[in-house]
Amino acid sequence: MDDRDPLTQLVIGAAIEVHREIGPGLLESIYQNCMIRELQLRRAEFIPKAKVPLAYKGEPLDTELEMDLYFPNRLVVELKAVETVLPIHEAQLLTYLKLSKTHVGLLVNFHVPVLKDGLKRMVL
């Protein structure tokens, strides 16, 4: 993790608090709602469940991506509650970074005994 990035540290602190408060073993949607509330309590400026329009070969599609937590042009946070983080989860975050034109992302997996073991910072 990059200790010099205050936004990343704010999000990690919020995730640690959520994990400490409710523990592992719940659905991703529950962690997402708790993270939204914790970040609001910390007065963070972000977009929960942010929509990203999609295009294919320059043509807009009738569908869009939904990022768990988006700090416009600064950070994308992808939340998971899985036994094992797979390469596809990392690829998902990298794709979100690319499509949102954001350079830094956090992959947070709440299904771990100690949250620091469920954190991965990625840079595009």
41-96 per-position pLDDT tens digit:
999 999 999 998 888 999 999 999 899 999 999 999 999 999 999 999 999 999 99
Residue type at position 8: T
Assess whether pLDDT exceeds 90 at residue 4.
no
User: What are the φ and ψ backbone dihedral angles of 53, each rounded to 5 degrees?
Assistant: -65, 150
Assigned token pair, 11: 């999000």
User: What are the φ and ψ backbone dihedral angles of 95, each rounded to 5 degrees?
Assistant: -65, -40
Check if the beta carbon of residue 94 is closer than 8 Å to that of residue 122: yes
Assess whether pLDDT exceeds 90 at residue 24.
yes
Whole-structure pTM value: 0.92
